[in-house]
Amino acid sequence: MIWAHAATPAAIDAMREVLMRAQLIEPSLSYVLSTPVSEHIFDSEVFVLQEAEPQLGLDFLNTMSPDLCLWTDDSISTPLFALSHRLSIPIILINAKIQQLRGRKWLWRKTIARQALRPVSYAFVETTEETGHLRKLGLPARNIEVLGPLLCGAVAPGCDDAERDRIGEILTGRPVWFAHCVPMQEIRIVLKAFLQAQRKAHRMLLIFDLADPTNEPDFLRLCDEFDLTTHARAAEGEPEQRTQIFLTDDDSDTGLWYRLASLSYMGGSFSVGDVPNPMIAAALGSAVVHGPIIEKFQHAYARLSETGATQSLKDEGDLSQRVAAMMEPDQCADMAATGWQVVSEGAVATDRLVELALQKLGFGDLHL
């Protein structure tokens, strides 16, 4: 069991990727993720352990009984961190701001500093300067490594390669886009955008994924109202040459749809803000377009936006225009390449963390 503690949404996303990759390599591994703050935390699987409630932290650790802790919080002078020492949980310290801590009087005493860092079996830092700070606090140089910034990427879902190739042949020459996780409020918006964009690309295919499968009757009614040729994964299995709208079945084939679509719309970004992780689309070579309402994965959207790997739309009317314009092969390819570079930025650091965590748990030298 790995317990990862992260203080910011960005760190939570990065640690989630580390944990998921570790579990992919060693399926018997279990993990739990916690944070000291509840603001901007939308994942119900992330435990909130507030520092003002040390008993809650003790109960949590006694229940989970972790074998290893990955600590990405800035501070090591918290009751929760001290509990790790009390319960003999080894810690891998990740980019903690040690320089800030050295100003505290109790850390100036070398013996107390050594005691504070006693649970730390290994530490990753962003710069060589921070290596010096840790060494002055008593951590051996052999247990410190410069990792650089910890950036989230994505654990991309797989697919059946043979099926991807087969459907790819069926869709040869057709512009394909994927509307992922579309809520009820946006079904009409996306279908209207398809109709308008189709005027410039008559053979366009829209792969449509509903956020709530119970909305399927309403979705089919609208497709019928707009006179759209609609097929479904659950019925026809694969799109045909005449298919205009193809309804997905569940999230088990998300990796397939992203790989087939040169462009993907992030559902929920014009209404509820409960949007998919754009890093997954970027990792699978699909350019990303989204509306202005982003509640989840804000750090990931910001990183992609900074490099031009996404297109942010101000209002619903922009969707059809941008889809039509972005379906040009060169533009989608350039955005997809930029997105892949962003996803890959943190790969080395992530792989190193996964490797060390598994080694600390006794899984040996694993080649990632």
Q: Express as a percent the part of the chain with pLDDT over 70.
A: 90
Same domain, residue pair 73 and 171: no
Phi-psi region of 268 (alpha: psi -120 to 50; beta: other; left: phi over 0): left
Assign 108 a pLDDT band (cuts: 50, 70, 90): very low
Same domain, residue pair 143 and 29: yes
What's the confidence (pLDDT) of residue 106? 46
- Asked if residue 285 is part of any domain, the answer here is yes
Same domain, residue pair 243 and 167: yes
**At residue 40, does pLDDT exceed 70?**
no
**At residue 116, does pLDDT exceed 80?**
no
Assign 368 a pLDDT band (cuts: 50, 70, 90): very low
Same domain, residue pair 262 and 287: yes
Same domain, residue pair 131 and 194: no
What's the confidence (pLDDT) of residue 213? 94
Per-position b or e across 247-275, b if 16+ CB within 10 A of its CB? bbeeeebbbbbbbbbbbbbbbbbbbebbb
- Asked if residue 201 is part of any domain, the answer here is yes
- Asked if residue 114 is part of any domain, the answer here is yes
Same domain, residue pair 220 and 335: yes
Which two tokens mark 184?
Answer: 């009820």
pLDDT average, residue stretch 50-56: 77
**At residue 78, does pLDDT exceed 80?**
no
Greater model confidence, 287 or 103: 287
Q: Which helix (H) or strand (E) holds 10?
A: helix 9-25
What CATH number does the domain containing 139 carry?
3.40.50.2000
- Asked if residue 368 is part of any domain, the answer here is no
pLDDT average, residue stretch 173-178: 92
Rounded to the nearest integer, the mean pLDDT of the chain is 86
pLDDT average, residue stretch 13-24: 91
- Asked if residue 366 is part of any domain, the answer here is no
**146-172 pLDDT tens trace:** 988 888 888 888 999 999 999 999 999
Residues 40, 299: Cα–Cα separation, whole Å: 11
What's the confidence (pLDDT) of residue 98? 62
- Asked if residue 365 is part of any domain, the answer here is no
Residues 207, 186: Cα–Cα separation, whole Å: 15
What's the confidence (pLDDT) of residue 43? 67
Same domain, residue pair 71 and 181: no
**194-225 pLDDT tens trace:** 999 888 878 899 999 999 999 999 999 999 99
Same domain, residue pair 9 and 98: yes
Lowest mean pLDDT segment, chosen from 28-37, 39-48, 284-293: 39-48
Same domain, residue pair 208 and 104: no
Which two tokens mark 313?
Answer: 């739309």
What's the confidence (pLDDT) of residue 130? 82
What's the confidence (pLDDT) of residue 41? 65
What's the confidence (pLDDT) of residue 287? 92
Same domain, residue pair 326 and 356: no
Q: Express as a percent the part of the chain with pLDDT over 90.
A: 50
What's the confidence (pLDDT) of residue 242? 92
**At residue 365, does pLDDT exceed 60?**
no
Q: Are 310 and 294 in contact (CB under 8 A)?
A: no
Q: How many domains does the chain have?
A: 2
Residues 355, 358: Cα–Cα separation, whole Å: 5
**At residue 351, does pLDDT exceed 80?**
yes
Greater model confidence, 359 or 95: 359
What's the confidence (pLDDT) of residue 267? 96
Residues 18, 12: Cα–Cα separation, whole Å: 10
Same domain, residue pair 180 and 92: no
- Asked if residue 318 is part of any domain, the answer here is yes
Same domain, residue pair 250 and 262: yes
**At residue 246, does pLDDT exceed 90?**
yes
What's the confidence (pLDDT) of residue 105? 52
239 lies in which domain range?
161-344
- Asked if residue 367 is part of any domain, the answer here is no
